[in-house]
Structure 1
């Protein structure tokens, strides 16, 4: 393993240790408040929200026009070259997300609500591209499952992050874990983005908040994906 790979693995290990550390008090209080708020939502509504979220995610996962294909010239790329392309893909997704967030944020409540599915499409497309750049075929079930867990890890609270991280670190390509609990996934995702995205619906500041929020959320997803693939590939060498 070369010097670049060693440095990348060190960064990934530091990122992993940050997740493993105990959740801070403010994060715990925020999560407890979200749990209490979710308790006021009727069970029937929870079921409907979960099913809608699941259908949205699965629709994107199964959309063949989002599957990034591995190019022959990329098959022999050095790890550093792969990561350079990954960083550029993240930056492009951030720009796209900022434009989308600013546009829907400026449109008030109704367009602001449209941001939810549009942003998921941008995020999933980015994950497919990152997987392909690291040399993994997203047409395979195990890679789609891995992408789903990376998404789950990026947008979850501290305690759930630890559970999902354990699954990713012990990933079994020949016998991958089953899909995550969809209800937990959608609640964690909504709770994670709720506060910052709610301000996107406020007239006057919605455009600025939407652009900023999408840039930050996509950056978090990109960092999570990079480090997950680093640990998956380099820890075995």
Structure 2
């Protein structure tokens, strides 16, 4: 679950206090130091990356950069009407409904791809990336932010990074997002670390997505993996936007 279900019957102040507690627990997890398992996994993945030819890394970086740039700058991902003058509770409940819809869409897509063998599973990579970014755009609107602004698109990219970074990188990304409304932001992508971005994302989902290629069980695995990965994105966004709302109140 993307956090606990919001309680009912609280005053606006009471709900804000509950939400602050949820954000605090989320913050603790985001800043948690890497454990033994995290370090071992990163070590194995690092050795795998050393084996992969540099040309492959360069190609993957270019593909992910172009795909992500297209998604983030494309007019087709703009959201509907921004939700204004709503309580945090109302926004949270709408956000959870939006997330539930996207999880189901991602699960169906992953199940079909998992049942279709290598090439459909490969095609699932950009499809799932698009679903997750579209979810982030819609959640941005639910929490009253204008996703057509470049700084808000950078924030969306930061939430995506937070969802798919290893423990060491995750804390760094989190601290940048935590003070987002207090600092200036770049006006373009030119200084963005695309190489690090694609490696963190690929390393995070590699093993899970490879299991999607296993005959017979690929379909249910694909559905479950896509559900969980989409849910993770939603959790980062809901808590991130909650934190911004609470800091302004």
TM over 0.5: yes
CA distance in 2, matches of 1:88, 1:58: 27
Matched, 1:65 2:76: yes
Paired residues of 1:60 and 1:66 also in contact (CA < 8 A):
yes
Deviation at 1:173, TM superposition (A): 6.3
Partner in structure 1 of residue 229 of structure 2: 217
CA distance in 2, matches of 1:68, 1:174: 25
Q: 1:90 aligns with which of 84, 99, 111?
A: 99
Matched, 1:150 2:159: yes
Q: 1:181 aligns with which of 193, 206, 213?
A: 193
CA distance in 2, matches of 1:186, 1:141: 21
Paired residues of 1:109 and 1:202 also in contact (CA < 8 A):
no
Q: Provide Cα deviations, 1:11-39, integer angstroms capped at 9, x if missing partner.
A: 01111111212111011100111111111
Count of aligned residue pairs for this structure pair? 235
Partner in structure 1 of residue 115 of structure 2: 106
Displaced runs of 4 or more, over 4 A: none
Of stretches 130-139 and 168-177 in structure 1, the one that deviates more from structure 2 is 168-177
Deviation at 1:79, TM superposition (A): 1.2
Matched, 1:207 2:219: yes
Deviation at 1:44, TM superposition (A): 2.3
Deviation at 1:230, TM superposition (A): 1.3
Q: CA RMSD in A?
A: 1.4
Paired residues of 1:70 and 1:137 also in contact (CA < 8 A):
no
TM-score by length of 2: 0.91
Deviation at 1:70, TM superposition (A): 2.8
Deviation at 1:129, TM superposition (A): 0.2
In structure 2, list runs of 5 or more residues that go unmatched: 1-11
CA distance in 2, matches of 1:163, 1:70: 32
Deviation at 1:87, TM superposition (A): 0.3
Matched, 1:13 2:18: no
CA distance in 1, matches of 2:195, 2:106: 25
CA distance in 2, matches of 1:75, 1:176: 24
Matched, 1:198 2:210: yes
Paired residues of 2:209 and 2:222 also in contact (CA < 8 A):
yes
SS in structure 1 of the partner of residue 180 of structure 2: coil
